[in-house]
């Protein structure tokens, strides 16, 4: 069971890496299209790749332990810990779904639906975003695409490592 959990965490890390790479490409394309540097982008292109991640995590930290980072450096560190930690650990749930639903595509589709539902629910509740029906269309579309990339990376990695584990 520990091996399966580790396999899921590795799948989550791969999916998170794919999602982060896609977000980087999106930021670079946006900057090119607008004739600016990536550092000059002044609007949210993806809630999963924004300060809203830190707002959500800080809200939880403050409620649970009575502390949240205040400095820019601390907030930046929290972003990366949450981004990679959460994304990696959530990947382990895909292994559970594989056991419950069998072969793809069912586990991957359920996993995608779950991750997208978490984003649509957690950001408005904890992250300071409007409810999803008030998100700009490009943000909603980006969220679905990004979670599709994440879920696809997790599912592919877990499928490949499952074959090797046998």
Q: What is the pLDDT of residues 103-139, one digit of tens each?
A: 999 999 999 999 999 999 999 999 999 999 999 999 9
**How many residues are recorded in the chain?**
166
Say what angle helices 51-65 and 106-126 make with each other, to 10 degrees: 70
Question: Distance between CA 46 and CA 23 in Å, rounded?
Answer: 8
Show the domain range for 75: 2-165
Tally of domains within the chain:
1
Q: What's the pLDDT at 164?
A: 61
Q: Using 50, 70 and 90 to split pLDDT, how confident is the model at 2?
A: low
pTM: 0.92
């Amino acid at each position: 069971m520990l091996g399966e959990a580790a396999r899921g965490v590795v799948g989550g890390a791969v999916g998170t890496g794919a999602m982060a790479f896609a977000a980087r490409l999106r930021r670079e394309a946006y900057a090119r299209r607008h004739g600016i540097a990536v550092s000059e982008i002044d609007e949210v292109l993806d809630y999963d790749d924004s300060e809203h991640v830190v707002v959500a995590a800080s809200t939880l930290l403050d409620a649970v332990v009575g502390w949240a980072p205040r400095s820019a450096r601390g907030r930046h560190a929290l972003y990366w810990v949450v981004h990679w930690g959460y994304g990696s650990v959530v990947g382990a749930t895909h292994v559970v779904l594989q056991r419950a639903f069998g072969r793809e595509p069912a586990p991957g589709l359920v996993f995608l639906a779950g991750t997208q539902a978490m984003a649509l629910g957690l950001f408005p509740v904890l992250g300071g975003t409007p409810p999803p029906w008030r998100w700009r269309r490009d943000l909603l579309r980006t969220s679905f695409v990004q979670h599709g990339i994440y879920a696809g990376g997790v599912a592919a990695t877990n499928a490949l490592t499952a074959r090797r584990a046998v």
